[in-house]
Amino acid sequence: MTAVDLQCTDSGGNGEPVLLAHAIGCDRRMWDDLAVALAPRRRVVAIDARGHGKSPLPARPWSLEDMADDAARLLDRLGIARADWVGLSMGGMVGQAFALRHPGRLGRLVLANTTSSYGADGKAMWDNRIRLITAGGLAAIRDMVTARYFSEAFIASHRDVVDRVMGRFMETPADGYLGCCEAIRELEYTAALPRIQAPTLVVAGEIDQGTTPAMARVIADGIPGARLAIIRGASHLSAVEKPAEFNALVEEFLAAR
């Protein structure tokens, strides 16, 4: 499939470039806090994945590899030869694809709240989600996604943030979400992890039910020299739920040269 022209926000400047790749059902605004933290020292490029935000919605199906090629095409358009990558959930899956397909274009790699495989039951899980959305749209999974994105404590204490994130979730085109579900359904990078040579930080949420700390450890064990950090009390959208802790980890890691 031909790569599409992704929409992004680009802080510009002469700092080392870093690309921020969001979770499924989110868009580049998921990274607002981190983008502000990084912008004084870095050129920050926050993307909308295909089928999300303001990026094009091509015909289904597509793959994680196609989405990695979208990012490479964007870097070409921006005149960026090489960038660091921070990806959460789906953004981390695409980050693995990018590291394997475009290793010469990757500096440092942050893989947050993500996995290299969903195991034997993964395809059935994603097929069930596809069926629910096909029958009832994103409204059919809104409550389930809310409970996976955020801890119960955060939902109770930060209703404004939860409502804002889930409002954006409901703006996602159903076909865009479905296309990404189909791509994630085929995720299987565990055996390829030793080929990733980029310095890598793996971040997990302590209570993330969707991409567990055990899944994060598989990635950290598979990528040579990778470091694992677990954010206490964080669920799936750790960058939103625990921004101070998440941003500090990323800033420290990206600054190490």
Asked if 149 contacts 244 with a C-beta cutoff of 8 angstroms, the reply is no
Residue 222 has pLDDT above 90, yes or no: yes
pLDDT in tens, 124-151: 999 999 999 999 999 999 999 999 999 9
CATH class of residue range 8-255: alpha beta
Tell me the whole-structure pTM to 2 decimals.
Answer: 0.98
Rounded to whole angstroms, the Cα distance separating 64 from 7 reads 17
CB contact at 8 A, 20 and 84: no
pLDDT for 95 beyond 70: yes
Enumerate the domain spans of the chain.
8-255
Q: Would you say how long the chain is, in residues?
A: 257
Tokens matching residue 77: 């358009």
